[in-house]
Structure 1
């Protein structure tokens, strides 16, 4: 049988077909905004074609200019608000319209909380396949917010650059690496603002050159400031391209003079052409290697590279909810996967028989052991390694977990870890998540053996599109 010949499309025809959208670049459109996406941009449709418009809010009618188009959706820039939302509010930050740090300052805080609850629900339904209606459906609680959702961040990571011969430092403009010079950030602890401003002034006076990421030249890449919210102790971390710092002793002396609360001045060396902030080598230039802070009654030592939640007030809320979902009576063995520096593990150890924590980063486990010793906690054991390797080894040693707690990075749990949990069959799984989409994906896997009971969103990052969750799953038939 003869094959039917198919006429091949030329490159121009293919491009025309691909670009046959109902919008064109630069086109002005009027839109009814019907919702917010997971990044906090308004969602509207023009002739059935979806457009995302940053800083537009649901219920608004707007005029926008198309700036980017793909096959199924595009992006537009807000030009004019024709009919504003009753939930629109005036952002207090003077650089809100340029900085990429806060995407939701223009939305009333109560609506931010409702929006974040809805994001969690949408992901559980769309990705996880969970029904949230009817008898026995899991409960997604209202998002727990803050009484005062400002000045909550205990850590700043600020890129340093140069402009008109002076050092600048702040945060990147949205979807770019253009530095917005900032003297004051409304969501940063005031101590962090003081650190960044002082280092810019002092390094500028001492002619310490800023890093140029395009040319890969210069010395000072980032300033990282950390503050113990309860202790008031301050750490200054200078991230440089090489170990040598001109006028180093004078730099240290002037930082100490301008920042009387500083307890630690640290240098981290990152010589690579990369967007990763920290390098592998860290040197304490002056003072202590760590600063201290408390979450509830637990004291933590925080080093330059320690992962430590940036909102201490909401961290306490998050961990207390984790403790409540664990349902500890003092007789349980708990495994804490992705344990970091032991923050959740030590909280759980207050009421568990024994807690086993595993983390792949050796420095984090060193911090976890130090924090256990610092608090006189003897019923916590920490081990370096991949959770999906270490936990089965513990099982072979006869360790049986009544409860497994996971607090993975944004990418979610490793597939092998989920398999390990299903094989271990603990009575409860408590999942702490910073990404609703990967949370929903992982819960769908665990749903073969576990029933999703409760989901508690917690607003760890007010005025941004991020939301944390604590969830409780119970083994079916347990």
Structure 2
């Protein structure tokens, strides 16, 4: 039987250190006796008193207990829960410096994968930095010792939920529900079997999807319905997997929310469990920018890969002759056609295909396209970019949520003769280290 290794003891006394730089996750980096230490709530150039949080053989982790010499980039966090809640990592850094940091990450990845640099850096896309988050999964946990329920995000460096009463990055219609939800769940028979609430917000509706691990009593159902009516939210229950989500209130109404893209005079319909962008104001700007960069002409045939419910596909269809949207999930293909019909567009087709695998046998893949838009998941679009020569598109816009896979794919596109004309970052997730970016390639 293998011996269990003893955990190294965590030093109790704080240590004075100087922060050298930021990690890609937004933590400060310093070195103590040649060993790397990642430090929460610390910025480059700062001298701080650091307390250890975790010790391991390869690196250590800590947090700033006292700022001795603050950076000029440091600001007062907007959220009083910043030091404990893991939802944000950069609220102590000015918005301008957050953007510069994210652009430096993108540039670093481009350089790492083949020494690529755009001919031009685009101006960063910025919008609301607070009250922006329209999509979230809030954890819920009843703590018996405290006889209270917690609702929100995990603590920094922990799997436990942070005890918060508000969250300024959530849209107001959700932020104001944190304490009422805590009080409600704490009063229910099912308080120990309600692990999460999925939040989805449209232009006019706020929906709660309540996950419950055991059947709800009549009293609990009545309490949830009374809560939904009082706070004017749409209510869904989820007894098991995602397919069991069903609407409870308003009774008899469609399971849909909506958002408009005003620049293209279209409206998108979505289910609360569908993927949608969390930041509506950035999404408006992002769709407009992506289509401007793609520059579709009236006679063009455009391909939209990883199209989801049609966030780019539907507005693109108002600008060119024909659009083909491809998505891996059948329900999103259905949603795409639903949105085309809703906007009275007949020049768009949707197809299902796993774009992370060989799709060369698909009929749509045998067609040529004038221009292509790609918006993949974090894993990127390696199979897609290797297939690009067969599509024959001269111009490609790539929207990315992971600069590492964008840069990797850009290296492959370079091999196929595509030049990186422009690139830039979009502040989809202010106060976090998440980097959303956009790039334009031309052949």
In the superposition, the TM-score normalised over structure 1's length comes to 0.84
Quote the residue 1:53 is aligned against. Answer: 39
Superposed structure 1 runs of 4+ greater than 6 Å apart: none
Quote the residue 2:237 is aligned against. Answer: 267
Task: Indicate which of 255, 275, 278 corresponds to 2:227.
Answer: 255
Deviation at 1:326, TM superposition (A): 0.8
Task: Indicate which of 71, 95, 108 corresponds to 1:109.
Answer: 95
Quote the residue 2:373 is aligned against. Answer: 405
Task: Indicate which of 118, 140, 162 corresponds to 2:104.
Answer: 118
CA distance in 2, matches of 1:198, 1:62: 38
Deviation at 1:456, TM superposition (A): 1.9
Alignment partner of 1:315 is 2:287: no
Deviation at 1:312, TM superposition (A): 0.6
Report the CA distance shift for 1:31/1:185 in structure 2 as closer, same or farther (over 3 A). same
Deviation at 1:432, TM superposition (A): 0.5
- Which digits, 9 at most, give the CA deviation of each residue in 1:399-443, with x for residues without a partner? 211112111111212x32222223323111211001111111111
Deviation at 1:252, TM superposition (A): 4.4
CA distance in 2, matches of 1:70, 1:168: 30
The 5 Å alignment of 1:277-356 reads 279-287=242-250, 288=253, 289-296=255-262, 297-356=265-324
Deviation at 1:392, TM superposition (A): 4.9
Preserved CA contact (<8 Å) 2:189 2:217? no
Report the CA distance shift for 1:243/1:347 in structure 2 as closer, same or farther (over 3 A). farther
Deviation at 1:248, TM superposition (A): 5.1
CA distance in 1, matches of 2:18, 2:124: 27
The 5 Å alignment of 1:71-82 reads 73-82=59-68
Quote the residue 1:87 is aligned against. Answer: 73
CA distance in 2, matches of 1:372, 1:266: 26
Preserved CA contact (<8 Å) 2:302 2:370? yes
Secondary structure at 1:466 match in 2: coil
Report the CA distance shift for 1:24/1:150 in structure 2 as closer, same or farther (over 3 A). closer
**Structure 2: stretches of 5+ with no match in the other structure:** none
Deviation at 1:46, TM superposition (A): 3.2
RCO higher in 1 or 2 (8 Å CA, sep ≥ 6)?
A: 2
The 5 Å alignment of 1:235-254 reads 235-247=207-219, 249-254=221-226
Task: Indicate which of 373, 377, 397 corresponds to 1:430.
Answer: 397
- Superposed CA RMSD in Å reads 2.5
Quote the residue 1:275 is aligned against. Answer: none
Deviation at 1:309, TM superposition (A): 0.5
Number of residues of Structure 1 aligned to a counterpart in Structure 2 = 431
Task: Indicate which of 329, 348, 363 corresponds to 1:394.
Answer: 363
CA distance in 2, matches of 1:256, 1:46: 53
Task: Indicate which of 445, 467, 474 corresponds to 2:412.
Answer: 445
CA distance in 2, matches of 1:179, 1:159: 7
**Structure whose alpha-carbon radius of gyration is higher:** 1
CA distance in 1, matches of 2:370, 2:57: 49
Task: Indicate which of 151, 157, 161 corresponds to 1:175.
Answer: 157
Quote the residue 2:139 is aligned against. Answer: 159
CA distance in 2, matches of 1:59, 1:123: 23
After the TM superposition, which of the residue ranges 61-70 and 328-337 deviates more from structure 2?
Answer: 61-70
In the superposition, the TM-score normalised over structure 2's length comes to 0.90
**Structure 1: stretches of 5+ with no match in the other structure:** 1-10, 211-217, 271-277
